Structure 1
Amino acid sequence: MSFKDQIEDVLHNVFGYKSFRNQQRDIIESVIAGRDTLTIIPTGGGKSLCYQIPAVVLPGTALVISPLISLMKDQVDQLIVNGISAAFLNATQSPEEQQNIIEQYLNHTIKLLYISPERLAVSSFSSLITAHPPSLIAIDEAHCISQWGHDFRPDYRQLNHLSLRFPEVPIIALTATADKLTQADVINQLNLIDPLVVVRSFDRPNIRYTVVEKFNLTEQVVSFIETQKGNSGIVYCSSRSKVEDMTTRLAARGFSVVAYHAGLTTAERQQAQESFLKDNVQIIVATVAFGMGINKPNVRFVVHADCPRTIEAYYQETGRAGRDGVPAEALLLFNSKDLNWYHRQIADKPENKHKQVELHKIQSMESFAQSMTCRRTVLLNYFGENRTEPCNNCDICLYPPEHYDGLIDAQKILSCIYRVEQRYGAQYVVDVLRGSSRSQIKENGHDKLSVYGIGKAHSSDYWLSVIRQLIYLGYVSQNISTFTTLQLTEQARAILKGQVALSLAKPRLEIVKKSRLNRYARAINLTTILSYEERILFNNLKRLRKEIADMEDIAPYVVFSDATLLEMVQIKPESKKQLINVTGVGKIKLEKYGNLFLDEINDFMIKNI
């Protein structure tokens, strides 16, 4: 059987997929031919197959370098369920376990061995692979080697010698997120020789992107999650304390939730992650310490309670939703204060190219959050993928912002800032406008100002929304050195004199408050077209999947993904011959689980005839 026939056979009968996508065939054939390859495919686009299929086909054992122990175990579990011998090697294992795995490597009884980059620094292991080279070297999350990458890890730097040590061994570097600067740096750092570079579309059409102004964080998060009953999701917060606070608040509201951050012990983090991966809890609240390489395909939503530092980080984190191609949600709750913190962090750094790049990335994230054009268009253009057509699956496309003549509102705010001598922050200015009775205002004599109480007609959140827009538009600046006091810019003069027109987006706060059902968060219900009876069957199959996973001590999605279950519901196979045609059902899984799922479908059909 030729290599081309072998890769088709492995794709169909081992992994259960009917066809290649995203140039997977080109990449696989390149690796098998011994050529270095840089692969940039979005999360859920099938990167793993690009090295797993060559590893199965080529003689010997492939070495896979992965940044996280949890990811290694996850990948190995999935390979084993598909009938592929694989193992990982890390410090959590006993010396006996490690020696056993090394012997499997030497005897070629495993097709893939997963290691961390730190393992290469262990002299005994380094000597071992020098004497017994792998069939190929796959470097996952390859953006970590680049100083321009958003997850730069110094440990990845030592990978630059692999090309020189193993000139005959093909190297495939893979990542979901890398702009052109990062791509060039990865190639340079890894010394890839004439690599095939495959950059697929960054578009994740199944993810709905929504950005909402942050005004009452807990209520906004709760309101959103209430629309996601039974769905797995991640809530990202910017600090450990915020993670703990959000976890406590969500638990108090009755949600199944667990916290994850670097301040927990290794055992606590592993337990939290395992509970989430195995669907024992619905929600994980985490810092960015969680998620890189997480292979859980049935995450249905990602909420950012704080704005990420860069678009790369945002894209990578939101990309953890909907890996299975089923509709998913990405909600960003945005406040300019989030980004002010990032600006302060780099303010004192020396002026050099690295600082300029960091500043550019923060400003790009800010522009995305403030954009009044299609979110997906902004994202794709950032990554160099020119797109002008609206996506019709983001908040801007679905609910275009309503504009109004904001000149009078702006004049009220700018006048108030001026009359309090540009010495106070946004909330104080709003309190003066709304006629607050807080003691500080009276002590300062600001209750005697002409602007005092002229904004009573609107809520505090309304005025804060308008102030943010005036900041975005350049009429007001925030002085970071004086606790973000509001100050007028030169452009404000024309507004105060009424010399120019000013169109502002009508604050959406009133709309959101009127209904706890967040109208921006209905992609799952609207786009997963199942009848009432089919939803019952889908839930029955999910329950069966969970029972099997618990018995085998693996994550439910390792058995079958949500996408596979949905296809079963829609096709309703009656035999193994029909079931093998469902995407994600290979021969090993068919024999192992086929009868159980066919019986569940058959019982449902009998009851509903």
Structure 2
Amino acid sequence: MGKKVDLGVHLKKHFGFDTFKGNQEEVIENVLKGNDTFVLMPTGGGKSLCYQLPALILPGTAIIISPLIALMKNQVDAIRNISEDDGIAHFLNSSLTKAAVTKVKEDMMSGKTKLLYVAPESLTKDENIEFLKQVEISFYAVDEAHCISEWGHDFRPEYRRIRPIIEEIGSKPLIALTATATPKVQSDIQKSLGMVGSMVFKSSFNRPNLYYEVRSKKHATKQIIKILKENVGKSAIIYCLSRKKVEELAETLVVNGIKARAYHAGMDATKRAGNQDAFLMEETDVIVATIAFGMGIDKPDVRLVIHYDIPKSLEGYYQETGRAGRDGGEGKCITFYSYKDIQKLEKFMQGKPIAEQEIGKQLLFETVSYAESSICRRKILLHYFGEKYNEENCDTCDNCCHPKEQSEGKDNVLTMLRAVLELKERFKAEYMVAFLTGEANSAIKSYKHHEHEMFGVGKDKDGKYWKAVVRQLLVAGLLVKEIENYGILKVSEEGKEFINKPRSFMITQEHDFDTEDVEESSGGGTAAVDPQLFSMLKDLRKKISKKKNLPPFVIFQDPSLEAMAIHYPISLEEMMNIPGVGSGKAHRFGKDFVELIKKHVEENEIERPIDMVVKSVANKSKNKIAVIQSIDRMIPLDDIAESRGLDMNELISEIESIVYSGTRVNIDYYIDQVMDEDRRDDIFYYFKEDAETDDIASALEELGEDEYSEENIRLVRVKFLSEVGN
């Protein structure tokens, strides 16, 4: 009993806490007894305290093996904050200067240092091994221990060498810690670290405050902007798999008025650190990142974790979504899924060694199962980590909030269980599905299973259905996956019982994200023109054109009015996003149109789609600016075209789009060179007085094709629109 009181005293003295969290106390007691200890504790559960406190209590220095330099620095700073002497904690890695390394060694030899953080790469250096042999070591801690396993989501080959090096330096108790480990990864870690007999402390992987949702990837950017606009001021992390996508998405969000920054390993280190700090200090709300972001980021109030791309494994997904709501408050985890992304990931694997491809495929299969399944997401996740979730409905995932249809599957469950036994429990899910649907692929032929009497007995259902059966039997515990040869299906005792005494088993229909329509609420889909509004907008345009004595097309063209009748812009800023309306046009004519639309939306209680708010990052804008600047400098248009790599036709189109958006350009200097005054005035007068529309074909017909060229008419139309409309 005395020990426990002591621990509480130490906890208060060093960290200022009154009580331990979860099973921290038992873990620390086990470490103090000198036993090997294995800790499985989800993100935010207080893993680091499990080795920090015993390190401060025990004589000697604890060696903490950790994979990330940034992580070490944060941890060392945190420990130094609770002590008067900076020498209490150090890190040893490639970022240190010679002088800094000498200082670390001096502090350790003098007994000041209680915790030394090292990267596995530094641990393997001969000079470090020799040095550590002279030091009194209290114990070793292996943080992020899942890095040892090829089945973990962040495998590091150098982690495999930890045990032999510990033996060389001098064996001491070992504590291994991870925030995510499936039963397969757990057994791998214990074998690799030579701690099979260690005590295992496992906290629940359930995070009840997190809401899980998977959506179809149609119009993902629009959906993301809608989600962020509905959650203004809340911290969000968006994960993408490629650096290019990170940059693009961050830029698009900024253009749409969202405070966002990018973060990936390819960025300049100072900029990257600056963006991370801006997120921690709440100068920016959103970080768009590759998975490099977030390891050891201790921000308790991240409210949204969005996956633009699905992760390569469920462990990765759990780790990344686990960064939401660490303070126990709201945490929404929304993932965008398309099977095409999975195929892309499979393609990336093709150059890798076969063993690695096999592992990668199995992990992807789990991810697909999670995304496409329509049973409780919490159930699937916890089952993956070897934990049972017994509630019928978790109320905090999309599948529980919007249940899918179920159908009686008793006979099909029996078929699957019997088939697995018939084939001697030697195959993975994909093989079993092909076998039952009668797909005589090369693998099945090599085992001669296409001649088996059960081959094809399930062909009245498709592969998708049978995959659903396997997934749901695994979660229900009637089938299990072998740990040694991961992925091979075995029938459990419960499954055998089911064969002897069949009972009702409801199979839930799965999602098919690539054909599902995106719900209106998620802001996707192309909407139809609102006919009533379109005709009101045309009337308004007519009224303004009479008042200003201008042809209607000078104010806005029909396609612009149509876009307004789809997207309902209700502010000048939104109006500028409508095709053919730039800031000039919006400010000159937009006010009346915006007011009319706003009134129409309110009176008819219209729910506006979000589409229109999404501005795309204009890559053409550089071209436009260069063209405007060249015209200001009165450079002949043919020279501008040549310098921009355009033909004359393309250049005039570029100038037209500039003018239609409401920007004024003066090309008189060029028109005066290529046509005489009378012709110019004839065309100008035609557009001002006679033209019903700005159509070039109608102008040619009216003015005479023999007399006037299309190019000349287009040039004068630019002059007309610029002078009269802008």
Structure 1 residues 125 and 504: alpha-carbon distance in aligned structure 2, compared to 1, 3 A threshold: closer
Shift of 1:276: 2.5
Question: What is the identity, as a one-letter code, of the residue corresponding to 2:202?
Answer: V
Q: Does 1:109 align with 2:112?
A: yes
Paired residue secondary structure (1:136): strand
8 A contact 2:372–2:511 mirrored in 1: no
What residue number does 1:51 align with? 51
Structure 1 residues 146 and 504: alpha-carbon distance in aligned structure 2, compared to 1, 3 A threshold: closer
What residue number does 1:512 align with? 522
Paired residue secondary structure (1:38): strand
What residue number does 2:202 align with? 199
Supply the distance in 2 between the matched residues of 1:111 and 1:91 (Cα, whole angstroms): 21
Q: Does 1:21 align with 2:24?
A: no
Structure 1 residues 503 and 136: alpha-carbon distance in aligned structure 2, compared to 1, 3 A threshold: closer
8 A contact 1:163–1:192 mirrored in 2: no
Structure 1 residues 515 and 210: alpha-carbon distance in aligned structure 2, compared to 1, 3 A threshold: farther
Kindly provide the CA deviation profile for residues 190-213 of structure 1, in whole angstroms up to 9, marking residues without a partner as x: 122631112221111121111111
Shift of 1:168: 4.7
Structure 1 residues 299 and 106: alpha-carbon distance in aligned structure 2, compared to 1, 3 A threshold: farther
What residue number does 1:268 align with? 271
Supply the distance in 1 between the matched residues of 2:153 and 2:215 (Cα, whole angstroms): 24
Question: What is the identity, as a one-letter code, of the residue corresponding to 1:315?
Answer: Y
Task: Name structure 2 gaps, 5 residues minimum.
Answer: 408-461, 468-508, 524-606, 612-726
Structure 1 residues 244 and 349: alpha-carbon distance in aligned structure 2, compared to 1, 3 A threshold: closer
* Pairs within 5 Å for 1:81-120: 81-83=81-83, 85-120=88-123
Structure 1 residues 328 and 200: alpha-carbon distance in aligned structure 2, compared to 1, 3 A threshold: same
Question: What is the identity, as a one-letter code, of the residue corresponding to 1:394?
Answer: C
Kindly provide the CA deviation profile for residues 186-234 of structure 1, in whole angstroms up to 9, marking residues without a partner as x: 1111122631112221111121111111111211111112233222221
* Pairs within 5 Å for 1:320-469: 320-346=323-349, 354-389=356-391, 390-401=393-404
What residue number does 2:225 align with? 222
TM-score between both structures, scaled by the size of structure 1:
0.65
Q: Give the alignment partner of residue 159 of structure 2, picking from 147, 156, 160.
A: 156
Task: Name structure 1 gaps, 5 residues minimum.
Answer: 405-469, 476-501, 519-609
Kindly provide the CA deviation profile for residues 93-149 of structure 1, in whole angstroms up to 9, marking residues without a partner as x: 322222212211222223222221111122222211111132121111011011111
Supply the distance in 2 between the matched residues of 1:168 and 1:154 (Cα, whole angstroms): 21
Supply the distance in 1 between the matched residues of 2:265 and 2:235 (Cα, whole angstroms): 22
Kindly provide the CA deviation profile for residues 71-107 of structure 1, in whole angstroms up to 9, marking residues without a partner as x: 1121122223333732223332322222212211222
Shift of 1:344: 2.7
Question: What is the identity, as a one-letter code, of the residue corresponding to 1:380?
Answer: L
Q: Give the alignment partner of residue 288 of structure 1, picking from 287, 291, 295.
A: 291
Structure 1 residues 359 and 158: alpha-carbon distance in aligned structure 2, compared to 1, 3 A threshold: same
Relative contact order higher in (CA < 8 Å, ≥ 6 apart): 1
Supply the distance in 1 between the matched residues of 2:79 and 2:328 (Cα, whole angstroms): 20
Structure 1 residues 349 and 62: alpha-carbon distance in aligned structure 2, compared to 1, 3 A threshold: closer
Q: Does 1:239 align with 2:239?
A: no
Question: What is the identity, as a one-letter code, of the residue corresponding to 1:298?
Answer: D
8 A contact 2:234–2:302 mirrored in 1: yes
Which is worse superposed, 282-291 or 48-57?
282-291
Shift of 1:302: 0.9
Supply the distance in 2 between the matched residues of 1:249 and 1:504 (Cα, whole angstroms): 29
Structure 1 residues 474 and 168: alpha-carbon distance in aligned structure 2, compared to 1, 3 A threshold: closer
What residue number does 1:250 align with? 253
Structure 1 residues 329 and 137: alpha-carbon distance in aligned structure 2, compared to 1, 3 A threshold: same
Q: Does 1:41 align with 2:41?
A: yes
8 A contact 1:3–1:57 mirrored in 2: no
Supply the distance in 2 between the matched residues of 1:187 and 1:267 (Cα, whole angstroms): 38
TM-score between both structures, scaled by the size of structure 2:
0.55
Structure 1 residues 472 and 216: alpha-carbon distance in aligned structure 2, compared to 1, 3 A threshold: farther
8 A contact 2:301–2:327 mirrored in 1: yes
Count, aligned residues: 426
Paired residue secondary structure (1:307): coil
8 A contact 1:141–1:293 mirrored in 2: no
Structure 1 residues 113 and 156: alpha-carbon distance in aligned structure 2, compared to 1, 3 A threshold: same
8 A contact 2:89–2:113 mirrored in 1: yes
8 A contact 2:66–2:119 mirrored in 1: yes
What residue number does 2:10 align with? 10
* Pairs within 5 Å for 1:112-151: 112-151=115-154
Paired residue secondary structure (1:135): strand
Supply the distance in 2 between the matched residues of 1:13 and 1:399 (Cα, whole angstroms): 49
Supply the distance in 2 between the matched residues of 1:194 and 1:67 (Cα, whole angstroms): 25
8 A contact 1:36–1:193 mirrored in 2: no
8 A contact 1:318–1:330 mirrored in 2: yes
8 A contact 2:373–2:511 mirrored in 1: no
Supply the distance in 2 between the matched residues of 1:396 and 1:98 (Cα, whole angstroms): 54
Q: Give the alignment partner of residue 299 of structure 1, picking from 299, 302, 317.
A: 302
Give the aligned CA root-mean-square deviation in angstroms: 2.8
Kindly provide the CA deviation profile for residues 398-438 of structure 1, in whole angstroms up to 9, marking residues without a partner as x: 3435899xxxxxxxxxxxxxxxxxxxxxxxxxxxxxxxxxx
Paired residue secondary structure (2:35): coil
Q: Does 1:179 align with 2:182?
A: yes
Supply the distance in 2 between the matched residues of 1:234 and 1:380 (Cα, whole angstroms): 23
Shift of 1:237: 0.5
What residue number does 1:310 align with? 313
Supply the distance in 2 between the matched residues of 1:175 and 1:121 (Cα, whole angstroms): 22
Supply the distance in 1 between the matched residues of 2:146 and 2:510 (Cα, whole angstroms): 41
Structure 1 residues 158 and 269: alpha-carbon distance in aligned structure 2, compared to 1, 3 A threshold: farther
Which is worse superposed, 323-332 or 293-302?
293-302
Supply the distance in 1 between the matched residues of 2:92 and 2:76 (Cα, whole angstroms): 11
Structure 1 residues 400 and 515: alpha-carbon distance in aligned structure 2, compared to 1, 3 A threshold: farther
Structure 1 residues 220 and 323: alpha-carbon distance in aligned structure 2, compared to 1, 3 A threshold: same
Question: What is the identity, as a one-letter code, of the residue corresponding to 1:152?
Answer: F
Question: What is the identity, as a one-letter code, of the residue corresponding to 1:512?
Answer: S
Question: What is the identity, as a one-letter code, of the residue corresponding to 1:57?
Answer: I
Supply the distance in 1 between the matched residues of 2:225 and 2:174 (Cα, whole angstroms): 45
8 A contact 1:80–1:86 mirrored in 2: yes
8 A contact 1:143–1:186 mirrored in 2: yes
What residue number does 2:604 align with? none
User: What's the % identity of the aligned pairs?
Assistant: 40
